[in-house]
Amino acid sequence: MKLDRKQAGYQEGIVSIIINVSLFGLKYWAGIVSGSIALVADAWHTLSDSMSSIIVIVGVKLSSRKADKEHPFGHGRWEHIASIFIGILLGIIAYEFLKESLSQIKMKESANFGTVAVVVTIISVVIKEALAQYAFFLARKTNNSSVKADGWHHRTDALSSVVILIGIAFKNKFWWIDSVLGIIVSLMLFYAAYEILKESIDKIIGENPSAELIGKIKEIISGLYGTDLVPHHFHIHNYISQKELSFHIKMDKNVSIEKGHSIATSIEEKIYSELDIHATIHIEPLKFEHTFD
C-alpha cells in the first residue's frame, strides 16, 4: 500500500511514542540503579523522542489542511515548522545534559555501571537504530521532512547509547568517564539540532531549484519546441503540498502574443503533467537583457 505524507507522519509518530515511552522507563530505571548521569540523560533523550513524535503528528495534521482563502498554497510548510520545534527541543535537552555533566565533573562523582546498564543500553541501541531506519524509510517514500527529523532524533539516541557502551568498557580506569560521556552525548544532540534547524529554515526561507530540475525543464521545452526557446531565471517556491515554479523564456520578437501565450501554456501543462509542479512563464524577446540576467 502506498503511503501519503499524512499517513507516514501518523504511523511513524504513533509507533515512536509507544516504543520510546517503554524504553524511557527501562533506561531511567537502569540509570538510577547504576547511578549513571549519562544513562539517565540518555533516558530523557529517549522520552524527548516521544515529544518530537507528538510534534510530528500535530505538524502532519496542520500541514494536511486544504488551501483556503487566507492560505492559497495550502499549509504544507507546517512540516518544516514542526521540524524546527524538534530541533529546538533537542537543543534545550543538549544544554541541560551538558550543564549537568560539567557539574558532575566538578563534584568528582562517578557511576557504578553494572550488567543491567550494559544489557539495557544494548537493547536501546538496537531498537532506536531500527526506529531511525523505519523513519528514514517513510521519509524517503513520502519526502516528509518532519518524519526525517524524527528519524535523526532516533539516530542520535542510538549513537548516544553506543557512546555509553564504549564508556562502560573503561569504567574501571577513569572515574570521570560517565561525565565525559554525558558531554559527548550533549554535543551529538547539539549537532543533530543544528542539522535539523538548518535544513528546515533553509527550505522556509527559500531554495534554488536544483540543477537536475532545471535540466528536466529544459528537456521538456526542447522536446516540444527544439532549441528555438531560451529558458532562464528559474525560481521555485516549495509549499510542500504544492510547488510553484516561475521562469523566463526568450523567443523571437515577431511571435504574436497569442502564439506566445499558446507556447507558454503548453509548456506549463507539460511540466505539471510530468513533474507535478505549477509553472508560471514570463515571455520576452530573444535579445532582451535584464540587469539580473
What is the residue-level pLDDT of the chain in tens, covering all 293 positions?
455 666 777 777 788 888 888 888 888 888 888 777 667 777 776 776 676 677 767 766 766 667 667 765 656 667 777 778 778 877 887 887 788 778 767 766 555 566 777 788 888 889 889 988 988 888 888 777 777 877 877 787 787 777 777 777 776 677 677 677 778 777 877 887 888 788 778 777 766 778 888 888 899 998 888 777 888 888 887 766 677 888 999 988 888 989 989 999 999 999 988 888 888 899 888 777 766 55
130 and 259 part of one domain: no
Q: In what order do the strands lie in the sheet with 278-285?
A: 230-238, 243-251, 278-285
164 and 242 part of one domain: no
Per-residue b/e over 20-35, b at no fewer than 16 CB within 10 Å? Answer: beebbebbbebbeebb
Q: What is the pLDDT of residue 274?
A: 87
Neighbours of 243 (CB within 10 A): 19
CATH of the domain at 262: 3.30.70.1350
53 and 171 part of one domain: yes
69 and 26 part of one domain: yes
41 and 163 part of one domain: yes
Q: Are 182 and 237 in contact (CB under 8 A)?
A: no
55 and 97 part of one domain: yes
What's the grid cell of residue 235?
525560481
Alpha-carbon gap, residue 63 to 132, rounded angstroms: 22
Q: How far are the Cα atoms of 122, 130, 165 from residue 116, in angstroms, in the given order?
A: 10, 21, 12
Q: What is the pLDDT of residue 262?
A: 92
In a domain, 290, yes or no: no
| Among 84, 60, 37, 58, CA closest to 144 | 60
Q: Is 283 helix (H, G, I), strand (E, B) or coil?
A: strand
226 and 104 part of one domain: no
Last residue within a domain, chosen from 158, 189, 205: 205
144 and 197 part of one domain: yes
| Among 49, 54, 63, 83, CA closest to 194 | 83
The residues that bridge with 236 in the sheet, in sequence order, are 207, 245
CATH of the domain at 58: 1.20.1510.10
Q: Are 56 and 5 in contact (CB under 8 A)?
A: no
Q: What is the pLDDT of residue 14?
A: 84
183 and 234 part of one domain: no
183 and 227 part of one domain: no
Q: What is the pLDDT of residue 261?
A: 92
Range of the domain at 172: 5-205
Alpha-carbon gap, residue 260 to 246, rounded angstroms: 16
Question: What does the H/E/C string look like for 228-266?
Answer: CCEEEEEEEEECCCCEEEEEEEEECCCCCHHHHHHHHHH
197 and 224 part of one domain: no
In a domain, 292, yes or no: no
Alpha-carbon gap, residue 86 to 21, rounded angstroms: 17
Please give the tally of structural domains in the chain: 2
27 and 151 part of one domain: yes
